[in-house]
Amino acid sequence: MKVALKMKMLTLLGLFLACSTIGMNRASAQTVWLDQLDLSNATQGSGMPMKNKTVDRRVLTIAGKTYERGFGTHSVSSLLILLEGKATSFTAQVGIDDEVIGRNPAAEFVVMGDNKKLWSSGVMRSNDTARTCSVSLVGVKKLELLVNDGGNGNYYDHVDWVNAKFETTGETSLKTYNPISSDKYILTPPAAATPRINTAKVFGVRPGSPFQFLVATTGDRPMKFTAKGLPKGLKIDSKTGVITGKIAKAGTYIVSLGAKNAKGKAEKTLRIVCGDQIALTPPMGWNSWNCFANEVSADKVKRAADAMVKSGLINHGWTYINIDDFWENHRDSKDETLRGKLRDEAGYIIPNSRFVDMKPLADYVHNLGLKIGLYSSPGPWTCGGCAGSYGYEKQDAESYAKWGFDYLKYDWCSYGNVINGLKDNDPYKVSSLSYNGGGELNTAMKPFKVMGELLRSQPRDIVFSVCQYGMSDVWKWGGSVNGNCWRTTNDINDTWVSVKNIALDQEKSAPYAKPGNWNDPDMLVVGTVGWGNPHPSRLKPDEQYLHISLWSLFSAPLLIGCDMEKLDEFTLNLLTNDEVIEINQDPLGKEATCVHTIGDLRIYVKELEDGSKAVGFCNFGIELVNMSYNEFAKLGITGQNTVRDLWRQKDIKSMDTANDQLDIEVPAHGVLLYKFIPKK
């Protein structure tokens, strides 16, 4: 009886347990929607990751059908999700959002599980009906939802994952993650109180042009400046360190610069080359676009110039204060401050009401020891729809010189309309036209040739920045139209995708860089940027170190694109490292190329004038690189060398590069920037 009772109880217990397990199973097969996860960990080509909205914050819509739930993003987009085997399947519909119809977007959606491709949509375009994605995730630990560009660049690739959800085994704690560290660490040592002359070692000027050159120097003030061996016609202001005047005769002049304060003194040799070529080192300064875009004004420009001085950046060689688009009147803006007569009766351009008088503005900037730049387009309209130079090139070049400008960015924009005789003034429809080969090449060169010659004939030196996004292999002919630098790519933005793609695209133009002729991978995206919608750069700290290191290795023009009044300690650390800047400003003017690749580690080498080499160990991958490196022959480095860490400004090793190894640890998306100095 006792035994029978026990048996009955055990059976009941068994039944109870069985039922509760079934109950648990039922409860456990839970659905987790993608929009319930933290989408802010996504990286994407433009804009911000959006929950239940498009990247432009509209209702998710694919081929006319609207969706309530989903993830609106922009290619190239990557969202990493830690599954740890907790999910059994993922389903979604994907497509290009209708908000970009007519813009020619193309993208491919891919699902990666533990680095293996589980599903791909194939290339999708506007108006394609949503494609259904359904993948089994049994056993998958890490998932990546990826959207690649569809082969025509990622312009306007606004893409949606809609009705996207996971079935899970009961665990609902799926987490997105971003493998790149957010730790902001400072590497640049503070400038010493003793003088250090940071100015470039060479400066070019044309005979008879007004000369202005600041001996950029860090150290306590007051400081006394001297310059021995100045050619006839030049003098130095001993208090400010600004050299002014005019040189009548072409020639090379070796000048001995001196700077002295209560703590000590410094000397440096400057080579002044008076001849045909200017911009003998890449221009360094600031440009209004990445920060203010269409909201620029004379007041903002003055404040940027003041901040250049107040922040001390001026003492590290930062020189140009460049006004981008929107100083001109607009063709049809609703903003009254941009409306007015475009030109006077003689065809001379009239600045908009935010600028009014350009000459006093240029004087203001010059009086601070800085230089000033301006912007126009060879077409009738600039990219922003303001008055361009087409038909008035002569008057414009004269105005720039008369006002005292030192730099012109000349931006293709609506010039395609001129070629095609189009009435339609939408610049984006034509800005990506490519002109490769024969007769068409002349068409591509023509407007820059016209302005280049006009600038050359002005009575002052005006750096000519050619901007046509790298069409027609501009690096091969930019110098022949008097260009001092030329954009090699489309517009940059403050995303890893943008910086990475631009960086990887520089190899073909690299051999063409030389003093006076620079490849321009576009402006810097550190600090508070945002094209009128200011926010801290979305690049992670290591990505910012990599960005500045690469642009230095590339001998790129360095144009800060941020709000100069909001410079934080981290950004200042990026922009005030004189040993890093020295790599950019090296007088030999070579551009680094990637000479050795190990997985995601790309090793860039730049030859320097003194026979040493700058080497960037650049980690484009998402894992830390930790290794012993010994293939120096591949980098063209031989013999006994001192290895100097430029960001930390410290010698780290003396080594025999044929036999010794160098231990390197490069953070994900980060860099080590070293100089290999051969022992004599």
The upper half-sphere exposure of residue 14, i.e. CA atoms within 13 Å in the direction of its Cβ, equals: 6
Only one of the segments 90-98, 135-143, 381-389, 445-453 lies at the binding site for ligand GLA (rule: CB under 6 A); that segment is: 381-389
Q: Which residue, 212 or 537, has its beta carbon nearer to ligand GLA?
A: 537
Residue of 548, 523, 539, 417 lying closest to 467 (CA atoms): 523
What separation in angstroms does the CA of 330 have from each of 349, 378, 403, 552?
12, 16, 21, 36
Q: Which residue, 406 or 522, has its beta carbon nearer to ligand GLA?
A: 522
Please state whether beta strands 284-287 and 320-322 pair in parallel, antiparallel, or not at all (unpaired). parallel
Q: Which residue, 277 or 432, has its beta carbon nearer to ligand GLA?
A: 432
Q: How far is the CB of 491 from ligand GLA (least distance, A)?
A: 5
Binding mask 384-403 for ligand GLA (x = CB under 6 A): x-------------------
Q: How far is the CB of 490 from ligand GLA (least distance, A)?
A: 7
Distance CA 308, CA 316 (A): 10
Q: Which residue, 160 or 324, has its beta carbon nearer to ligand GLA?
A: 324
78 binds ligand GLA (CB under 6 A): no
Please state whether beta strands 535-536 and 528-529 pair in parallel, antiparallel, or not at all (unpaired). antiparallel
168 binds ligand GLA (CB under 6 A): no
Both tokens assigned to 544: 């910012």
Both tokens assigned to 176: 């997105």
Let me know: does 291 contact 528? Beta carbons within 8 Å.
yes
> What letter does residue 315 receive in the DSSP assignment?
G
What separation in angstroms does the CA of 222 have from each of 126, 279, 328, 582?
63, 30, 40, 25
Residue of 261, 270, 230, 268 lying closest to 247 (CA atoms): 230
461 binds ligand GLA (CB under 6 A): no
- 618 forms beta bridges with 602, 671
Let me know: does 254 contact 202? Beta carbons within 8 Å.
no
Helices (H) and strands (E) in the chain, counts: 11, 40
482-501 residues near ligand GLA, rule: CB under 6 A: 491
Q: Roughly what angle, to the nearest 10 degrees, separates helices 393-403 and 358-367? A: 40
Binds ligand GLA by CB under 6 A, chosen from 98, 99, 149, 324: 324
Q: What's phi and psi for 556, nearest 5 deg?
A: -85, 150
548 binds ligand GLA (CB under 6 A): no
Could you tell me how far CA 255 lies from the centroid of its own chain? 35
325 binds ligand GLA (CB under 6 A): yes
296 binds ligand GLA (CB under 6 A): no
396 is catalytic: no
Q: Which residue, 447 or 616, has its beta carbon nearer to ligand GLA?
A: 447
414 binds ligand GLA (CB under 6 A): no
383 binds ligand GLA (CB under 6 A): yes
Q: How far is the CB of 427 from ligand GLA (least distance, A)?
A: 8
Q: Which residue is nearest to ligand GLA (CB)?
A: 383
Let me know: does 260 contact 195? Beta carbons within 8 Å.
yes
Tell me how long the chain is. 680
Describe the chain by its helix, strand, coil percentages, rounded to 5.
25, 35, 45
Three-class SS of residue 385? coil
79 binds ligand GLA (CB under 6 A): no
Q: How far is the CB of 325 from ligand GLA (least distance, A)?
A: 4
Only one of the segments 6-14, 175-183, 378-386, 526-534 lies at the binding site for ligand GLA (rule: CB under 6 A); that segment is: 378-386
411 binds ligand GLA (CB under 6 A): yes
Let me know: does 341 contact 599? Beta carbons within 8 Å.
no
149 binds ligand GLA (CB under 6 A): no
End-to-end CA distance of the chain: 102
Only one of the segments 214-222, 231-239, 382-390, 587-595 lies at the binding site for ligand GLA (rule: CB under 6 A); that segment is: 382-390
Residue of 120, 102, 104 lying closest to 112 (CA atoms): 120
Binds ligand GLA by CB under 6 A, chosen from 382, 414, 537, 555: 382
328 binds ligand GLA (CB under 6 A): no
582 binds ligand GLA (CB under 6 A): no
Distance CA 75, CA 501 (A): 12
Only one of the segments 133-141, 208-216, 299-307, 379-387 lies at the binding site for ligand GLA (rule: CB under 6 A); that segment is: 379-387
289 binds ligand GLA (CB under 6 A): yes
Three-class SS of residue 668? coil
344 is catalytic: no
Q: Among residues 97, 98, 157, 491, which one is catalytic?
A: 491
Q: Among residues 411, 494, 522, 563, which one is catalytic?
A: 411
Q: How far is the CB of 502 from ligand GLA (least distance, A)?
A: 12
Q: How far is the CB of 503 from ligand GLA (least distance, A)?
A: 17
Q: Which residue, 411 or 461, has its beta carbon nearer to ligand GLA?
A: 411
Judged by the rule CB under 6 A, the positions of this chain that interact with ligand GLA are: 289, 324-325, 382-384, 411, 467, 491
The catalytic residue positions are: 411, 491
